[in-house]
Amino acid sequence: MRCDSARADEQRDGPSSGPDASGSNPPRSNRPRGGPAATLAVASIATALVLVVFTVPLTTLTSASEALGAGPGEQAWILSAMSVGAASALLGSGAIGDDYGRRRTFVAGTVVLAMASVLGALAPSALVLIVARIVQGLGGGVILACGLGLIGQAYPGPALGHAAGVWAAALGAGVAVGPILSAGLDRLGGWSLPYWLSALAAAGLAAAAQAFLTESQAADRRCVDVAGTLLLGFGMAAFLAGLTESRTGWDQPSVYVLLIGAVLLLAGFVVVERRVAGPMLDLSLFGRPDFVGATLAALASGAGVLSIMSLIPMILQRAMGVGAMTGAIVLLAWSATSAVTAFAARWIRASPTALMIGGLVACAAGQLAVYGLSADSSVLRVVPGMLLAGAANGVLNAALGWQAVASVPADRSAMGSGANNTARYLGSATGLTICAVLVTHGGAASGIAGLLSGWNMAVLVSASFSLLGALGVYLATAREQFREHRGPGDRAS
């Protein structure tokens, strides 16, 4: 059932084109502006900016904490707050973008990111900075969901694979540039300077998006699923908040209250989505092997390689006495390599499913290569494993960007992007929590020996996540591939 506002918009903009030859309603696009190349450029640059903003605390946490008097619990929240906001917004903003305009929603996300960055720069206390980081995550989630959705509309068919590689390269570029840029700006003008630069960049992207992006939306617009949006948003926020609180100890009542509340909210979300006429997430998609495979791969990517590689600068600093800038530079072995191979993945002649399985297995091999660190290990000891994991992660990101859009109906590209990125953020938050707890509480030994013992356990756990993800993708898609390869006579029998 369509909303009254949807019918009013159709009277103003003209009727939709109706069902295509396949019987489905094609997405509606209007107001041609900069063309596909402009869409790819703006969406990719914005994606890189979101990742730059995400990594700001990795190298500015110490100076920000000293300036704002943040304790261990507040520091954990500063690191994780943007994930809470992003995971809460991704799926809902993708559905809203599909129904009410991906460009319009994308622009709103850049404005929110700019305003939140200003709030972060002016933050007088750790609490205000945490709130600003959560709102930055809300804006960033909108950008990620609708940016890839816009790319999916601009590059239909086989061209999507190439465009998804560029988008995935932007992910790696943001992670590569962010920590080094933030560390340099911190030294130049203090911890708040990266937030001011983020605000200016986001404002510029809002203007560029308004000028160059072509509006697109689903031909069959639905009412906003208010109940589903709120239940999922608060459920994800409660779950990630519970994980963040657990990093300072599982014996806190707040941890259990948040996690139990998250289970109840997410269960309510499933109930609502089964009953509402226009769900924000069509649960029937979980009957599609390609959608399930892409979701499992994104979840495993976050819980596996993203989690353990994000902790390498920390282990280098605490166990080997490496400085923050050096740690950020070493991280380039993973993040920069990921950007390069994501862009080059367009020349690999393989299906997205094969790329996801191969990428996860190779990521696991790279993760295992950083096992066995000691206090006497050279910084170069971690580089080969990071290079392998980075190369595999770039290919994996390109396949995920491709399959996230290709595994949903054509007019639901932003919803597909939101669902896939939600799985990635959920996996990352879960994996980071588990690995951080293992590192800080690993083994019976104390000091550096205990830290490294915990690190080795975290490496094994993260590699297990990657391998289980590869197995899950294979099992989810094997039956469908078997059906496709059976002959007509076999299918008839």
Instruction: Report yes or no on 20 lying in a domain.
Output: no
Q: Minimal CA–CA distance to 304: which of 111, 82, 69, 472?
A: 472
Residue 335 sits in the same domain as residue 420: yes
Residue 250 sits in the same domain as residue 111: no
Q: What's the CATH code of the domain at 165?
A: 1.20.1250.20
Residue 272 sits in the same domain as residue 150: no
Instruction: Report yes or no on 7 lying in a domain.
Output: no
Residue 329 sits in the same domain as residue 205: yes
Residue 180 sits in the same domain as residue 233: no
Instruction: Report yes or no on 14 lying in a domain.
Output: no
Instruction: Go through 95-125 and write b for each residue having 16 or more CB atoms within 10 A of its CB, e for each that does not.
Output: bbbbbbbbbbbbbbbbbbbbbbbbbbbebee
CA dihedral over 87, 93, 98, 103, signed as positive or negative:
negative
Domain count, the chain: 2
CB-based contacts of 428, cutoff 8 Å, min separation 6: 83, 302, 303, 306, 307, 310
What CA–CA distance (Å, rounded) separates 401 from 94?
A: 14
Residue 176 sits in the same domain as residue 253: no
Instruction: Report yes or no on 142 lying in a domain.
Output: yes
Last residue of a domain, one of 279, 296, 311: 279
CB-based contacts of 126, cutoff 8 Å, min separation 6: 65, 68, 69, 70, 71, 74, 77, 78
Instruction: Report yes or no on 394 lying in a domain.
Output: yes
**Full residue range of the structural domain in which residue 232 is found:** 226-279
Residue 164 sits in the same domain as residue 194: yes
Spatial contact of 319 and 446, defined as CB atoms under 8 Å apart:
no
Q: What angle do CA 320, 323, 326 make, to 5 degrees?
A: 100
Residue 68 sits in the same domain as residue 176: yes
Residue 320 sits in the same domain as residue 410: yes
Instruction: Report yes or no on 12 lying in a domain.
Output: no
What CA–CA distance (Å, rounded) separates 372 from 459?
A: 9
Q: What angle do CA 352, 357, 362 make, to 5 degrees?
A: 120
Residue 385 sits in the same domain as residue 467: yes
Residue 324 sits in the same domain as residue 402: yes
Instruction: Report yes or no on 219 lying in a domain.
Output: no
> Quick one: which H or E segment has residue 217?
strand 215-217
Each residue's pLDDT, cut to its tens digit, for the chain (493 residues) gives: 445 444 444 444 443 433 443 344 445 445 556 689 999 999 999 999 999 999 999 888 889 999 999 888 888 888 888 888 888 888 888 888 888 888 999 999 999 999 999 999 999 999 999 999 999 999 999 999 899 889 988 898 888 888 988 999 998 999 999 989 998 999 899 999 999 999 999 999 999 999 999 887 766 777 777 888 888 888 888 888 888 788 777 778 888 999 999 999 999 989 988 888 777 788 888 888 989 999 999 999 999 999 899 888 888 888 888 887 888 889 899 999 999 999 888 788 888 899 999 999 999 999 999 999 888 888 899 999 999 999 999 999 999 988 888 888 877 777 788 888 889 888 888 888 888 888 877 655 567 888 888 899 999 999 999 999 999 999 998 766 545 554 444 434 3
Tokens of 391: 């190369």
Instruction: Report yes or no on 22 lying in a domain.
Output: no
Residue 60 sits in the same domain as residue 179: yes
Last residue of a domain, one of 261, 279, 297: 279
